[in-house]
Amino acid sequence: MELWRKVWREGVEPLLSTEGLLALKQALLSDSPELLQGTTTRPPPLNCVRDWPCEAADAIGYCGWQGDGLETVGEVEEYFARMCYEIDKWVGEPAGCRHFINWWDDTPRHEAASLLCAEVLIALRGRCEPVSSKDALLKAILDDPYDDVSRMALADWLEENGQSYRAMVIRRTAGVRPAMVGSNPNYRFNGVRDNYVVPAGVTHHIPMRIRQRMSDYPMPGRTRGYPTERLAMEALAKAINEWLRDV
């Protein structure tokens, strides 16, 4: 498991309030300009502006600001410093919080927001529901092919049960939105019928066996009122279920 994710799960998330997590989720989903990278607050945490209203904050400070009702730059800065101290104690490493903070600051915004949002959703679900079994998670994905939270939870289950490669593949499918090419059965991909296109950036992370199984499901074509993407997402969910059925 990546260091940032380990620190988030063991040190950051347990210390955040549910209200803070909910606020962070909304900021990540909307790509809020009030969620900062590279600095703790705006205005910057200087003594001369400690009493000024906070206008924006980083991923940790944002939870205290928007979730816990902090108002000034000084309050958010003190919250951030206190959190860092507590995170270090929870992970058992001096300056251990840096693994998460540096990852958040240095990772491209879209990538960081997508990965952190998945973690926040998992955390929120975990506070409301018990950890699901593999079968329950697979059913959740089949019921809602767009349920990336269940995909990430399933990946965690697989990793915890010695299926690291499969966990990596499932994580790569979270957020993927394949599009259907058409209903032409003669269209082929590497020798097999394949009516779907997966974004180029993740294609090589999805095993051919999953892509082959996607092609096994019949397509009614481009039906009015029935989005093409939905058909492809359903095929992907079914293919994943088939791929994992013997795990």
- Tens digit of pLDDT for each residue in 106-144? 999 988 988 898 888 888 877 765 545 777 788 878 888
Higher confidence at residue 169 or residue 175?
Answer: 169
What's the residue count for the chain?
247
- The answer to whether the CB of 100 falls within 8 A of the CB of 8 is yes
Which of 84, 101, 44 has its CA nearest to residue 54?
A: 44
Which of 131, 30, 143 has its CA nearest to residue 22?
A: 30
CA dihedral 203, 117, 110, 154 (to 10 degrees): -10
Q: Which residues contact 221 (CB under 8 A, 6 or more apart)?
A: 182, 183
Higher confidence at residue 232 or residue 102?
Answer: 102
Q: How confident is the model at residue 41 (pLDDT cuts 50, 70, 90)?
A: very high
CA quadruple 143, 148, 150, 152: dihedral sign:
positive
- Could you give the CA distance from residue 219 to residue 223 in angstroms, rounded to a whole number? 10
Q: Which residues contact 239 (CB under 8 A, 6 or more apart)?
A: 210, 211, 213, 214, 216, 217
Over residues 186-237, the pLDDT tens digits come to 434 333 344 444 444 445 556 666 666 665 555 444 444 444 566 667 777 7
Element (H, E) at 41: strand 41-42
With a cut of 90, say whether residue 246 has pLDDT above it.
no
Question: String of b and e for 217-240 (b: at least 16 CB within 10 Å)?
Answer: bebeeeeeeeebeebbbbbbbbbb
Q: What's the distance, CA 130 to chain centroid?
A: 19
How many Cβ atoms from other residues are within 10 Å of residue 21's Cβ?
19
- The answer to whether the CB of 153 falls within 8 A of the CB of 122 is yes
Listing DSSP states for 60-96 in one string gives HHHIIIIIS---BHHHHHHHHHHHHHHHHHHHTSTTT
Query: Helix 134-143 vs helix 148-160: angle between axes, to the nearest 10 degrees?
Result: 160
